[in-house]
Structure 1
Amino acid sequence: MQANQEATRPIEPLKPLRLGRAVDYLSLARLDHTTKHVFILPGIVLACALGTPEPAKLLVTVPAGIASAICIASSNYVINEWLDREYDAAHPTKSQRRSVTVALLPGLVYAEYALFAVVGLLIAYLLGTLFFATSVAFLVSGILYNVPPIRAKDKPYLDVLMECLNNPIRLLLGWAMVETTMVPPISVLAAYWMAGAFLMAAKRYCEYRDISATAGVAVLARYRRSFRYYTEESLMVSCFVYAMMSAFLMGVFLVKYRVEYILVFPFVSGLFAVYLWLATRPGSVAQRPERLFHSRRLDVMLAATIVVFLFATVVDMPFLDFIATPFLPSITPLP
């Protein structure tokens, strides 16, 4: 009973230490999280493999598309950090964010949000209808995730599914940089979504285990309301569910569109395994996705996956067609 009362008690914001400077406002955009846009690259590769790319055009569309994605992601980060400042005050490390410790002017914060959003959408508009529509969806997802009354991040399971919606959005952005006349298969978009859900659920598992062990479950629930409904067991089970769904959907995609990608499957499974192993480590980097590349094991597995993925993209292997061909061996009855 006391723990529940503690979890629902209003958070007392920290007293800002000083007035904000330009660098403090810029920090809200989290430009150091640019590494997350690596999830755009598979979309580019898939579009080259399944679509009709124009190599000369890519020299313009890819850099411009990445710049647009960075701007829109930064606008989402700005609104995320600003609206979360009172909740972040309860987090062991996020309580050191500038939005918590520095006095920032709301008008300037919202102006920064609007500036990144407008610049990102203007660039997106120049890249075509599909890229622009996907960019709008990218921006709207940030609003649904962070802004009341919906604020999906406060709702169990929906918080994971909404946050990782950025995964298929990024894949679609990469695709739209190359191919503008058709959309990628739904199966690969859904598989990418479920893979992202696995990553986010593992991140929640890390946070739950580490923070509840040091500061208590009540503090954890004050930091993020969805944790009031989670347990270590439910988060771990959800990781397995998302991983299984992703594997199934990837199987549907590779059988229908490019059976050569079956060679990538063991490496993707290895990536899932390494990430889950990282999630079980105390103080895991899985809690801070922008630092994932500091893990040598994950770097090696990711590099191997990329190499095999590119190989399976450019090399046709007709001998693998039997995998997608129905075959029921007959049995000769005994005399």
Structure 2
Amino acid sequence: MLVSNQPRLLPHPRAAQPTARLADYLAIARPDHWIKHVLIIPGVAFAMIMSAAAPADAAALVGRLMTCLFVAMALSSANYTINEWLDAPFDAMHPTKRARPAVQTAMSPAIVFAQYIMLTFIGMLAANTLGGSFSLAAVVFAIFGVIYNVRPIRAKDRAFLDVIVESLNNPLRFLFGWFAVIPHVAPPVSILFAYWFGGAFLMAAKRVSEHRAIAEAGGTANLAAYRPSFAVYTQSSLVTSCLVYAQGFAFMMAIFLLKYRIEYLVVIPLFIALFASYMRLALTPDSAAARPEELMRQPAMMLGAAVTMALFGVLTFVDLPWLNGLTSSDLIPLGIGR
């Protein structure tokens, strides 16, 4: 099921490739991408802020959070394993991804499949220790990894559906953090949708950067060879979708803050600045937007994100009564004489 039936678009016959080593099999699990699990932190933070049901035992909470992180790393690495293996014929057409181990070495399908099964099994085993809600989120995370990568669906080959499915990992990571703290209470739907729209914006911006880089490196003919969905995408449609996702994020965040804490409105300008900065980055040649794991090398953006999260924390405990008037439906009297 996990072996692609696409021809391997390699510059040399497969027999000429060196046999994959242990380090190559470990590399396709992409431990360098574990940095993305920082998206679990807001789930933890909001769960602790919004509910009094958090565990009183700090040691027990730390243990649950460590298990949560382990589950996220194991399941994401399982998904990356099949992702890189099945993408090898297409990555061979990418200007930088052609250097990946799955392209450059001869890998054993049996070992790749065993690695996927082992990582999924240990991830699910650990997830079961955190309760039914967490386990369900873990199962959905694993299932969508298959939907995204494996035929007959293989959502990543379908324009727009690829972004929708891939970005679902964001609210699932939020749920990992939330259920690690409070397994019996669901988070607000508005924050989950905001997280999904935010993730969709990031994924669409990544495709803007990739689409441009591939077209510039090898011409438009290489776009579909790298990823079938790129035969449908244009720079115009991708940038337009980024705008739609950004608006969806803003709308859902507005619902969330109006229902739960109007003080968070102060953070919105910072979010707008972060989205604008990321979009600008995506439109820059050879940008880190195409490689989100390298965003840590963008100090200005990391500082902006840190300030935004810190302000969220401050506004959780600081009341701003003058903002309450914004939630009133009363008309504003001007006090001007007739």
Q: TM-score, normalised by structure 2?
A: 0.93
Q: Deviations over 1:123-182 (max 9, x none)?
A: 110001111000001101100000000000011100111111101111111111111111
Q: Specify the alignment match of 2:237 in structure 1.
A: 234
Question: Which residue in the other structure is 1:26 paired with?
Answer: 26
- After superposition, the C-alpha distances for 1:37-88 in whole angstroms (9 at most, x for unaligned) are 0111111111011112125231111111011111000000001011111111
Q: 1:120 matched to which residue of 2?
A: 123
Measured against aligned partners, the alpha-carbon deviations of 1:225-263 in whole angstroms (never above 9, x if no partner) come to 001111111111111111011100100011011222112
CA distance in 1, matches of 2:35, 2:77: 12
Change (3 A) 1:104 1:304: same
Which SS does the other structure have where 1:176 is aligned? helix
Pick the aligned partner of 2:133 from 130, 133, 142.
130
Show CA shifts across 1:193-218 (max 9, x none).
01111111111111111210221111
- AA aligned to 1:50 is M
User: Counterpart of 1:84 in 2: which secondary structure?
Assistant: helix
Q: Which residue of 1 aligns with 2:40?
A: 40
- Structure 1 position 199 matched with structure 2 position 196: no
What is the deviation of 1:322? 2.5
Bigger mean CA offset, 305-314 vs 97-106: 305-314
Aligned counterpart in structure 2 of residue 59 of structure 1, from 33, 37, 62: 62
Residue 264 of structure 1 contacts residue 305 of structure 1 at CA under 8 Å; is this kept in 2?
yes
| Identity across matched positions, percent | 43
Is 1:177 matched up with 2:180? yes
How many Å separate the matches in 2 of 1:10 and 1:90?
A: 12
Answer yes or no: is the 8 Å Cα contact 1:274–1:297 preserved in 2: no
Work out whether 1:13 is the aligned partner of 2:10. Answer: yes
Among 69, 83, 87, the alignment partner of 1:84 is: 87
CA distance in 2, matches of 1:116, 1:159: 23
1:317 Cα offset (Å):
3.7
State the structure with bigger RCO (CA 8 A, min sep 6), 1 or 2. 1
Where structure 1 has 5 or more consecutive residues not aligned to the other structure, the ranges are: 1-8
The equivalent of 1:105 in structure 2 is 108
Contact 2:130 2:180 in 1 (8 A): yes
Change in CA separation of 1:320 and 1:58 when aligned onto 2, cut-off 3 Å: farther
Q: CA deviation at 1:293?
A: 1.1
Letter in 1 for 2:209: C
Provide the residue aligned with 1:266 in structure 2.
269
Could you list the runs of 5+ residues in structure 2 that have no partner in the other structure?
1-5
Report the AA paired with residue 29 of structure 1.
A
Contact 2:29/2:81 (8 A) holds in 1: yes
**Structure 1 residue 318, shift from structure 2 partner:** 4.0
How many matched pairs?
327
What SS does the aligned partner of 2:95 have?
coil
CA contact (8 A) 2:7 2:89 kept: no
- Inter-partner Cα distance in structure 1 for 2:246 and 2:103: 35
Change (3 A) 1:93 1:117: same
Specify whether residues 333 and 325 from structure 1 end up closer, same or farther in structure 2 by C-alpha distance, changes over 3 A only: closer
How far apart are the structure 1 equivalents of 2:25 and 2:335?
76
Q: Which amino acid aligns with 2:68?
A: G
Cα RMSD (Å): 1.7
